[in-house]
A = this chain, B = another copy of it.
Amino acid sequence: MNVINRVLVAGIPLVPKPIVGFFSRRYIAGETLEDAVRVVRELNRDGMMATLDVLGEEINTREEARSAADTYKQVLAVIQSEKLDANVSVKLTQMGLKHDARFCREIFRQVVHEARQRGIFVRIDMEDSTCTGETLAIYGDLRREFDNVGVVLQAYLRRTAADADSLMQDGRANFRLCKGIYVEPRLIAYGDKELINRNFTLVLERMLHDGAYVGIATHDERLVWEGMRLVRELGLLKERYEFQMLLGVDSELRKIILAAGHRLRIYVPFGEKWYRYSMRRLRENPQIARYVFQNVFRRA
């Protein structure tokens, strides 16, 4: 236990795939869409919504980008045919954001369009800070055309409060707010955990106050508490917001949120490319890693 923690905290670049795989089992639905559907059905049965994430990021060719878009279209079709209470979360690098931003926008627009036809919402995941500007620009454009698309803002970025304000100017913003998990330089992101929490609370208050729809995405009980406080103070209907958590993390907190009468959506990643998602959670956020480990060991 201690050895493993130390290896991760030190940020050693490579952890053998079987080890990562073992630890990631808890928070990846599986390799196939069938696995994901099964997990979503269980969540739905237990009163939770889901968002499906097809694992994968940063592709190199237009073919790979098209293939990712096609996979998402297939997921949309299955969500509809299986009547799942689920939407999708998409990383734009997977559709070529860094390779060819115009092309990325084009094929991603088709995904959003198809989702619109099927009555499904599409959340654009946020990646590291080299993607922020372009991702927000694509969201901004599409949001003018579609009401079924939203984006993510990360409370640890120094720019986030200003981004929230500017994106809310059209009055139809749809955000997920999370702390942020990528390793960022100090000039770009707050490092102080208390400051990240205060910024999260501040930005959340502004979003909710200004009428944006917000997915409050956190496993930090203090932020869950702040979220509950704000929605109560503002007298918000529960259709105006949702709590969000990652698959495999803190099932007690799930129950606490549901018991308090709030809606909760679980982020369900699946697919063959689970290594980078898993490594990010293991390496870039040792706290979640430790948490996941504890759960694994507790079960073992």
Residues of A in contact with B, size category: 20 to 34
Q: How many copies does the complex hold?
A: 2
Q: State whether the Cβ of A222 lies closer than 8 Å to any Cβ in chain B.
A: yes
- With a cutoff of 8 Å between Cβ atoms, the chain B residues found around residue A161 in the complex are 232
Asked whether A273 is an interface residue with its Cβ less than 8 Å from the other chain, the reply is no
A187–B256 Cα distance when bound, in Å, is: 6
Q: Mark A206-237, 1 if CB is under 8 A from B, else 0.
A: 00000000000000011001000100100000
A223 CB to nearest B CB, Å: 10
Option from B192, B194, B221 in Cβ contact (under 8 Å) with A195? B221
Residues in B neighbouring A259, C-beta threshold 8 A: 158, 187
A78: which B residues are within 8 A, CB to CB?
none
Interfacial chain B residues near A195, Cβ < 8 Å: 221-222, 225
For the complex, is A198 an interface residue (Cβ under 8 Å from B)? yes
In the complex, the answer to whether B260 meets A186 with C-beta atoms within 8 Å is no
Tell me if A199 is interfacial: C-beta within 8 Å of chain B.
yes
Distance, CA A143 to CA B250, complexed state (A): 40
A190 within 8 A of B: yes
* Bound Cα distance A256, B195 (Å): 15
Q: Decide: A222 near B192, CB < 8 A? Known: A187-B255, A202-B229.
A: yes
- A-side residues, CB < 8 A to B, are 158, 161, 186-187, 190, 192, 194-195, 198-199, 202, 221-222, 225, 229, 232, 252, 255-256, 259-260
Of all A-B residue pairs in the complex, the 5 with the closest CB atoms, nearest first, are A186-B252, A195-B225, A195-B222, A187-B255, A187-B256
